[in-house]
Amino acid sequence: MLEHALPFQKIVFVCCNQREPGERECCANKGGKELRDKLKSMVKARNLQSKIRVSQSGCQDKCEHGPNLMVFPENRWFSHVSEAELEYLLESIIATLDGQPSNVTTQSPPPVVERPSPA
């Protein structure tokens, strides 16, 4: 066995797990494969294949929150990802290349505070 440093700065695992009808829900039925393809093409269009690897994964055991993707080495989990959000997601990954600190917020938006309506 030989051990090496990771050949990419970032690895994005997009869950593409496919299940049969009647089984637990799966990311493939919620657009996981399309997200993988789109993200791969976006990385290629920016010529970042040597820095960012987009790989499909099997089940990440967060099926009810899918489609899911996970970004390493930051250990970030993104759930309910839509194609419209990939641009933001990829830009946030690009911003952390070459040792830049992460700028992605994983905090929930502030709670909605109900105010009494004006009289």
Under the rule (CB under 6 A), what is the footprint of ligand FES?
15, 17, 26-27, 59-63, 66, 68
Q: Which is nearer to ligand FES, 63 or 90 (CB)?
A: 63
Please report how close the Cβ of residue 68 comes to ligand FES at its closest, in angstroms: 5
Least distance from C-beta 40 to ligand FES, angstroms?
Answer: 17
CB of 35 to ligand FES, least distance (A): 11
Residue among 17 and 96 whose Cβ is closer to ligand FES: 17
Task: State the minimum distance, in angstroms, from the CB of residue 18 to ligand FES.
Answer: 8
**Nearest CB to ligand FES, comparing residues 62 and 76:** 62
Closest CA to 51 of 85, 103, 98, 102: 98
How far apart, in Å, are the Cα atoms of 43 and each of 18, 23, 37, 38, 66?
Answer: 24, 33, 10, 9, 22
Residue 46: partners with Cβ closer than 8 Å, 6 or more residues away:
90, 94
